[in-house]
Amino acid sequence: MQLKSRIIDSKIGAENILLEMTYEEYLEIAKDILMNNPLQRKRVKSSNTVYSLLKKDLLEGCIMPPIVLALNLENDSDFFKLDNESIIDLVKSNIENLLILDGLQRTHTLKDLESELREETNDFDKFIKFRNGMLRVEIYIGINQFGILYRMLTLNTGQTPMSLRHQIEILYRKYLDNAIEGIEIVQEVNKDTASPNAYHFKTLVEGFNSYLERDPAPIDRFDVLNNIKSLERLSNENTQNDLFKDFVLTYDNLIKAIDNKTSANLSDDEVLDELSLYASPFSKNTIGVFNKSQAITGFGAAIGKLKDLEVIENLDEVRDLVNKLEVAEDEDWIVDLIKNLDSIKQNSKKIGNAQRMYFYWIFRELFNENSDAYTNLYEAVQTGYKKYQLTSE
């Protein structure tokens, strides 16, 4: 492994180093990268023909385009002052923190070819020649969360597109193993999160994606222009902070504040019978209501929109407003919310998206100082439903 070049990327405040290494050296690194981040194991089945051709080319001595990695470390070391030998040592000792920004499918192709040649016992020389082949690898060192997202987007606009949501999943997967200030983030779909301090990772990613996209609907398509706009918004905020972490903490504060101001017992069969619902209730408790994707994406999109409208400045301001939420004792706002969600379920073709849009209007009214429902849960539920009906006609 040899370091050939070092260039500062001023846009993202990171250093790009160019390494030359053998396929054998790279595959040892790649094995650990894929093992430590299962989300990067996904492959594109439709590209089999293209990558079969690449295997043949590699055996004929073609030079593969550089594979691009990122080394994301939590400390504030001044990487720019390290000499070349120290940089290489840094990379070797932090392989578990590497991410593949560009070249995932090529990496899988190299792994497949190595396995195939290993099994061809009749031509060991071909196997050795392949493993000694040379590869260029670029590594961004000292790159932050915004830089990783930005480079993922700009590098993955070709054969194998990646949605912004998938990029966020890869980047923030670390929180599956590390709680955020006591907040548990779980991956198992069947694990109950209808309790304080527990969220599904996928749901939080959807909410954060909606905050960046300003849209409560789930967006899985790859839209370069849309993603660029989202990253521009992200770059305009304090990129030294972990914006995903701020988002999670803000929403968690909101749920707890709402739960503390709710007295209605929806698990009581008599209460439910009186509601005469069309279907089973959206949830039987407050935490269950606001732990769902519809609520979190509605919140994310609403806060993002209010930020664009310059009604609020940042997530810190939202956390301050959470402490000011109010509801009169005789106003069962949660009961009306459940009834409205039930009505939406009865009358909508795309139920999930319709419910997301309702939550979006609830939170827009709740945190908009120009609204009559400002910081009032009961009024936000009522006004939000009227706004939803007007915009869905």
Number of C-beta neighbours around residue 209 at 10 A: 24
pLDDT at 239 over 60: no
- Looking at per-residue pLDDT, the higher value among 321 and 181 belongs to 321
pLDDT value at position 37?
63
* Number of Cα atoms under 13 Å in the Cβ half of residue 229: 11
Please state the separation of Cα 274 from the chain's center in Å.
40
Q: Which residue has the tokens 């061809």?
A: 120
All residues at 6 or more sequence positions from 129 whose CB lies less than 8 Å from its CB, including other chains: none
pLDDT band per the 50, 70, 90 thresholds, residue 264: low
pLDDT value at position 303?
96
CB 201 within 8 A of CB 179: no
pLDDT value at position 222?
46
DSSP string, 207-272: HHHHHHHT--S---S--HHHHHHHHHHHHHS-TTS-HHHHHHHHHHHHHHHHHHT----TT-HHHH
Query: Dihedral of CA 144/145/148/154: which sign?
Result: negative
Instruction: Tell me the three state secondary structure of residue 184.
Output: strand
Residue type at 339 in one-letter notation: K
All residues at 6 or more sequence positions from 385 whose CB lies less than 8 Å from its CB, including other chains: 340, 358, 361, 362
Q: What is the pLDDT of residues 296-342, one digit of tens each?
A: 999 999 999 999 999 998 899 999 999 899 877 666 788 889 889 99
The lowest-confidence range among 74-78, 250-254, 257-261 is 74-78
Give the integer Cα–Cα distance in Å for 38 and 139.
Answer: 20
Q: What is the pLDDT of residues 35-79, one digit of tens each?
A: 776 555 455 554 556 677 888 888 888 888 999 999 877 655 677
Burial profile 229-246: b = 16 or more Cβ within 10 angstroms, e = fewer: ebbebbeeeebeebbbbb
pLDDT at 252 over 90: yes
pLDDT at 346 over 60: yes
CB 5 within 8 A of CB 84: no
Give the integer Cα–Cα distance in Å for 87 and 77.
Answer: 12
Domain locations along the chain: 2-162, 169-392
Tokens coding 171: 């980047």
pLDDT band per the 50, 70, 90 thresholds, residue 351: very high
pLDDT value at position 158?
47
Please, what is the average pLDDT of the chain? 81
Give the integer Cα–Cα distance in Å for 373 and 333.
Answer: 12
Q: What is the pLDDT of residues 86-137, one digit of tens each?
A: 999 999 988 888 888 888 888 988 998 898 888 876 778 888 888 999 999 9
pLDDT band per the 50, 70, 90 thresholds, residue 225: very low
